[in-house]
Amino acid sequence: MKLDEKQQLSRRGMLAAAAAAGPAMALVEQGAAAQAAQPGPVNRNSAPSQLRITDMRAIRIASGLDYPIIRIDTNQGVYGLGEVRDAGIEGIALVLKPHLVGRNPLNIEPVLDSIRKFSNHLHLGGGYSAVDIALHDIAGKVYGVPCWRLLGSKYRDRVRVYCHLPSLSNPQAFAEGVKRRKEMGFTMFKTSWSSSLVAKTPGAVGENGAATDKGLKLMCEILDQIRDAIGWEAGLALDHIGSRLRVNDCIRYAKALEPYNLVFLEDAVPPLPWEPGAGGNIARDWRRFKEIKEQTTTPLAAGEDIFGLEEGFLDFIDNRALDIVHIEPLTAGGIRETKRIADEASLRSIATAVHCCVSPLGTVADVHAIATIRDFIALERDNVYLDLPWWQDLVTGIPKPIIQNGYIPVPEKPGLGVELNEEVVKQHLRVPGYFEPTPEFDKFILQDYRPGGPVK
């Protein structure tokens, strides 16, 4: 008997034994045989082990809050797109270029670990976050999976979006704006609510800018009108309630808001203006939020200017100083860090909402992260989405409109699942040039320790 005939008989014997052992074992063996006979498709876009970063370039799209977009190139033609925080500049990311060139972009966490020390709160988290998004875009394309799959499993196939309400300055325009938003399927809204609404009324605002009891009553009457317009069953969040409020003022406001069943009161405590680095101290400010939280049932949210779990969010979460973490992925550290923060918060029964005033590219990156978050409320969308007719046209690859009946479908294509629409983007650049070379960033600009080598 020839050797191959013996092997075939042996194979038949194994399958027979498996069948005798039980149906489950037989199915396993049959599946293995079928897989060997019919190999699946091979992703030929990249040879992962030899993949290396070769360059980083950028553009900036003009908007109310400009959109800096980066592109990380590789030696195999696969590239990844990322976005710096709204109203930032591309240089925040480009200074990281020499730390990335030559490295394998599929080693996402080790690469990010090496540049984390160059990040901080506010817009200084934008560079790290943009790199995170671009690395996930590359990895998804190489492995043929959407970015969310690199993080884990999906909890949802679509992401709920909340929108900003129009200005209250023109009652007719406000009513028309609310009608338009409801027709588009939005069921949650956010608006600013501060003493500026009653500033012209004598005796309504005190010397420190906080509303008096008289002013607070008038502000609540305005809120009644807002509630009547959107419906008392709709979700409502409030933001920008005052830039000089003290903790006691915030407690007064929060208690007055309890009958309005808010989804959350955002950033109730303003950054302390007399501390160094205006706004940067908010990550150390959990005690003030906790003091307010203990005095009211109005849910508190904060965090859009905080970078990192350990660097900023962890004290808020561990001390239960918030009801909701309000993450801006393009400041917090990108899609991977957003999931880390949200998962940690969920362990303390703290839900997640996501801040978003960025381009469609950054918005889709947010959606990938949100798809994997267990305890999620809604994703923000500012009025630029409604005001700029070309906003949605900046990207291709996903169904339009991007927001469908108040939700964004989770992409299933590899990587982010979107590409820039080059023709449209070029019409709206703030800085001339489309992903031009960046040799001025080839040398190290940021570094904590770099020996010079032997002395000549």
H, E, C per residue of the chain: CCHHHHHHHHHHHHHHHHHHHCHHHHHHHHHHHHHHHCCCCCCCCCCHHHCCEEEEEEEEECCCCCEEEEEEEECCCCCEEEECCCCCCCHHHHCCHHHHCCCCCCCHHHHHHHHHHHCCCHHHHHHHHHHHHHHHHHHHHHHCCEHHHHHCCCCCCEEEEEEECCCCCCHHHHHHHHHHHHHCCCCEEEEECCHHHHCCCCCCECCCCCECHHHHHHHHHHHHHHHHHHCCCCEEEEECCCCCCCHHHHHHHHHHCHHHCCCEEECCCCCCCCCCCCCHHHHHCHHHHHHHHCCCCCCEEECCCCCCHHHHHHHHHHCCCCCEEEECHHHHCHHHHHHHHHHHHHCCCCEEEECCCCCHHHHHHHHHHHHCCCCEEEEEECCHHHHCCCHHHHEECCCCCCCECCEEECCCCCECCCEECHHHHHCCECCCCCCCCCHHHCCCCCCCCCCCCCCC
Rounded Cα–Cα distance for residues 434 and 429 (Å): 8
Give the pLDDT score at 13.
47
174: tokens are: 């406000």
Q: Above 90 in pLDDT, residue 400?
A: yes
Give the pLDDT score at 168.
85
Rounded Cα–Cα distance for residues 296 and 319 (Å): 16
pTM of the predicted model, to two decimals?
Answer: 0.89
Q: What percent of the chain has pLDDT over 70?
A: 87
Q: Above 90 in pLDDT, residue 254?
A: yes
pLDDT mean over 10-26: 43
More confident residue, 27 or 225: 225
Q: Above 90 in pLDDT, residue 456?
A: no
More confident residue, 124 or 456: 124
Give the pLDDT score at 45.
58
Give the pLDDT score at 60.
98
pLDDT digits (tens, 9 = 90+) for 291-322: 999 999 999 999 999 999 999 999 999 999 99
Rounded Cα–Cα distance for residues 236 and 259 (Å): 12
Q: How confident is the model at residue 272 (pLDDT cuts 50, 70, 90)?
A: low
Q: How confident is the model at residue 63 (pLDDT cuts 50, 70, 90)?
A: very high
Give the chain's domains with CATH numbers. Answer: 48-149+433-441 (3.30.390.10), 153-413 (3.20.20.120)
Give the pLDDT score at 171.
87
Contact 290, 319 (CB under 8 A): yes
pLDDT mean over 91-109: 98
At which residue do the structure tokens 């889709």 appear? Answer: 364
Mean pLDDT of the chain: 89
Q: In terms of Cα–Cα distance, which of 296, 248, 245, 297 is closest to 267?
A: 245
Residues contacting residue 333 through CB under 8 Å, at least 6 positions apart: 112, 116, 119, 125, 128, 129, 132, 307, 308, 309, 340
Rounded Cα–Cα distance for residues 403 and 363 (Å): 10
pLDDT mean over 334-344: 98
Q: Above 60 in pLDDT, residue 264?
A: yes
pLDDT mean over 204-221: 95
Q: Above 70 in pLDDT, residue 156?
A: yes
Give the pLDDT score at 331.
96
Contact 104, 138 (CB under 8 A): no
Q: Above 90 in pLDDT, residue 429?
A: yes
Give the pLDDT score at 19.
42
Phi and psi torsions of 261, nearest 5°: 50, 50
25: tokens are: 């074992």
Q: Above 70 in pLDDT, residue 55?
A: yes
More confident residue, 374 or 22: 374
**Burial of 369 from C-beta contacts in 10 A (0-12 / 13-18 / 19+):** buried
pLDDT mean over 193-204: 96
Q: How confident is the model at residue 16 (pLDDT cuts 50, 70, 90)?
A: very low
Q: Above 60 in pLDDT, residue 39?
A: no
